[in-house]
């Protein structure tokens, strides 16, 4: 009576057409990704060869090309040992270094001190101009109208 294959009714059966389709699609995606990776590797190799050609000197020797970040990685060993000694408490900062940093700060702040004096002088003038400003007078009247209990100085 029922000699049909019952496995064809199961969703996990590998012989079903929909399961074969899913397997084929995932294989195609994996192939496409693999091709993209190979293509990117070829592009990177071309870029490296172009960079190497661009960094060659006139005499044919290869020099390291500067990208502007060397200062982060090229810390001299003397400075690192001095920094480690200071951080570990083995050495204290010399007074000459502190004096030098104070001098540097003073030379940098000279321009700022002049502008702060000018600002204080100009603020006195600005206060007298604000008292004569017609728009400010209108704003004061509106404020007094809206807040009659508030006393102004």
pLDDT of 48 higher than 80: yes
The count of structural domains within the chain is 1
Please tell me the predicted confidence (pLDDT) of residue 50.
86
- Average predicted confidence (pLDDT) for the chain: 77
Q: Which domain holds residue 40?
A: 17-58
Please tell me the predicted confidence (pLDDT) of residue 149.
80
What does the block give as tokens for 150? 């508030």
In a domain, 54, yes or no: yes
In a domain, 2, yes or no: no
Percent of the chain with pLDDT over 90: 21
Looking at the whole model, is its pTM more than 0.75?
no
- Ranked by mean pLDDT, the top range of 6-10, 111-115, 147-151 is 6-10
Side-chain half-sphere CA neighbours of 63 within 13 A:
9
| Angstrom distances, CA of residue 106 to CA of 46, 142, 146 | 52, 48, 50
| Angstrom distances, CA of residue 123 to CA of 113, 117, 140 | 16, 10, 20
In a domain, 108, yes or no: no
In a domain, 134, yes or no: no
In a domain, 67, yes or no: no
């Amino acid at each position: 009576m029922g000699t049909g294959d019952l496995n064809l009714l199961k969703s996990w059966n590998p012989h079903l057409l929909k399961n074969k389709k899913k397997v084929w699609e995932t294989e195609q995606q994996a192939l496409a990704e693999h091709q993209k990776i190979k293509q990117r590797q070829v592009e990177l190799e071309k870029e490296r060869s172009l960079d190497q050609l661009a960094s060659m000197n006139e005499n044919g020797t290869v020099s390291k090309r500067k990208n502007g970040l060397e200062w982060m990685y090229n810390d001299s060993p003397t400075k690192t040992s001095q920094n480690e000694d200071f951080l570990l408490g083995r050495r204290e900062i010399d007074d000459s270094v502190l004096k030098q940093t104070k001098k540097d700060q003073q030379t940098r702040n000279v321009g700022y001190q002049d502008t702060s004096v000018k600002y204080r002088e100009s603020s006195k003038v600005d206060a007298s101009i604000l008292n004569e400003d017609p728009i400010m007078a209108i704003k004061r009247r509106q404020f007094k109208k809206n807040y009659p209990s508030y006393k102004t100085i």
